[in-house]
Amino acid sequence: MTNISKSPFTNEIEQAEPPCKFSMPHFTFFKWDEDLKRHLKHYRNAIILYRSNNDLMCKIFATTLQGKVQDWFYTLLPQSIWSFDKFSLVFTKEHSSYCSIKKKFYHLFNVKKDPNESLPDYVKRFKVKKEKIVGCNDSIAKATFQK
């Protein structure tokens, strides 16, 4: 009982058992510097069959946290999380600065080659920036690269 009282989850969540024949879906782990929205979408999709089981949603989500995020989880006040909605809200508020900002193709115009940067290094950096832009087609990327 001592460990349960230190958990951010209510006793009801902590004591809940998984349903019969529960099979743990595959999850990616969330680390401090990753995309929060992507992680939540992945999690919700992976556990879609158990969405109505609030206790399970909370407990399993906590297992997807790693490193500093897991440390953060244990700093939450004991018994302060009573639902997955509350958990995801607290999680989102804490880690919202890591949400990816949606960028448009014209952001590529700001990617310039540094004078001391080799061409291969510049191309790699440009490609990384391009990949972060949703829906950026190759003709636009080519035009911005040539510019």
Q: Which two tokens stand for residue 96?
A: 């919202």
pTM of the model: 0.62
Task: Indicate the SS3 state at residue 30.
Answer: strand
Of the pLDDT bands very low, low, confident and very high (cuts 50, 70, 90), residue 145 is confident
- Residue whose tokens read 């992976």: 46
Give per-residue pLDDT as tens, 77-113. Answer: 999 999 999 999 998 888 775 555 566 767 777 788 8
Question: How far is residue 145's CA from residue 3's CA, in Å, rounded to a whole number?
Answer: 56
Of the pLDDT bands very low, low, confident and very high (cuts 50, 70, 90), residue 3 is very low
Kindly report the backbone phi and psi dihedral angles of residue 30, in degrees, each rounded to the nearest multiple of 5, phi listed first. Answer: -100, 125
Q: How far is CA 135 from CA 97, 103, 146, in A?
A: 23, 10, 19
Task: Indicate the SS3 state at residue 24.
Answer: coil
Check whether 128 has a pLDDT greater than 70: yes
Q: What is the DSSP string of 59-118?
A: HHHHHTB-HHHHHHHTTSPTT-B-SHHHHHHHHHHHHGGGSPPP--GGGGGG----TTS-
Check whether 24 has a pLDDT greater than 50: yes
Question: How far is residue 44's CA from residue 121's CA, in Å, rounded to a whole number?
Answer: 37
Q: How far is CA 61 from CA 39, 41, 82, 124, in A?
A: 10, 12, 13, 34
Average pLDDT taken over every residue of the chain: 83
Percent of the chain at pLDDT above 70?
88
Q: Which sign, positive or negative, has the C-alpha torsion 105, 99, 45, 52?
A: negative
